[in-house]
Amino acid sequence: MGVIEGAIDTIKQMIITGELRPGQRLPVEKDLAEQLGVARNTLREAVRALIAMRVLTTRQGDGTYVTSLSPGLLLDGIGFAADIHVAAGAGQFLHVRRILEAEATAAAATRIPGDDLARLDELLGQAERHVAGNEIEHGKLVALDEDFHSLIVSHCGNAVLAAVIQNMSGRTVRARIWRGMTDPEAVQRTLREHRAIHRALLARDPERARLHAALHVLGVEESLTGSRAFGGAVDD
């Protein structure tokens, strides 16, 4: 292990053991370098790496701090992985999303409050009214789709699971817009699937919620399987 990697691991251990806490300012560079037994240049490189990992953050003129270390922040790199494998990876990310989101939706069935069930109904109503209009804006529909799923997942009771799903689903937006534009039946099918998920949540039925969520994501996943058209669309 190199000296920079060693410094990174030592700072991580300081966070894990509670010596450094979320939101806490790091000691001044000279003191921290002496504490770690490394050169100041080595420490700077280690700090830069930890900033890139969202473990640390700098405040102009105020020093370097430990971030909130929230799952959503630390897992943001999953979204980047999806971005750099867009055409080939969209189907793979949807596959993972199908597995995880089905479980998250099932967990949310017994946790989501009545006010948010009503909010889901409002989102569905907005989407249905938009589709009934003369011209469909697929970007707007996908935004409503994201709001619908995000609200459900936020009540799964597991912040890590919610963060993983959010980071993956946001990176498949282009795939879903493409599906809506190229498959005449996709929009109405999506609305029906969303209504089925909502009914399962209203019934507080985890198994039905799990099934309908999995089937919904599977539909998008299957529409992309082996599709050269999608590969070309996202490479523009």
The number of folded domains in the chain is 2
- Rounded percentage of the chain residues whose pLDDT exceeds 90: 52
Helix ranges (H only) for the chain are 3-16, 29-36, 40-52, 71-74, 77-83, 86-108, 114-131, 138-153, 159-169, 173-182, 186-202, 206-224, 228-234
At 53 the pLDDT is 83
Q: Do 227 and 116 belong to one domain?
A: yes
**Predicted pLDDT of residue 198:** 98
CA distance 196 to 214: 12
One domain for residues 13 and 111? no
pLDDT at residue 229, as a whole number: 39
**34 and 51 part of one domain:** yes
Same domain as 218, residue 111: yes
Q: Same structural domain for residues 107 and 21?
A: no
Model confidence over 90-121: pLDDT tens digits? 667 778 888 999 999 999 999 999 999 999 99
Tokens of 197: 């998920």
Same domain, 15 and 99: no
* Residue 170 confidence (pLDDT): 59
CATH number assigned to the domain comprising residue 196:
1.20.120.530
Residues 6+ apart with CB under 8 A from 68: 22, 23
For residue 217, which of 107, 94, 124 has the smallest C-alpha distance? Answer: 94
Q: Which of 47, 54, 57 is nearest to 10 (CA)?
A: 47
Asked if 118 and 199 sit in the same domain, the reply is yes
CATH number of the domain bearing residue 11: 1.10.10.10
Question: With 0-12 CB in 10 A as exposed, 13-18 as middle and 19+ as buried, what is 2?
Answer: exposed
Q: Are residues 89 and 108 in the same domain?
A: yes
Are 120 and 199 found together in one domain? yes
Out of 33, 51, 68, pick the residue that ends a domain.
68
Per-residue pLDDT of the chain (236 residues; tens, 9 = 90+): 689 999 999 999 999 899 999 999 999 999 999 999 999 999 999 999 999 888 899 988 888 999 988 876 776 656 555 555 555 556 677 788 889 999 999 999 999 999 999 999 999 999 999 988 878 888 888 889 889 999 999 999 998 899 888 877 655 565 666 566 666 688 888 899 999 999 999 999 999 999 999 999 888 777 766 444 344 433 33
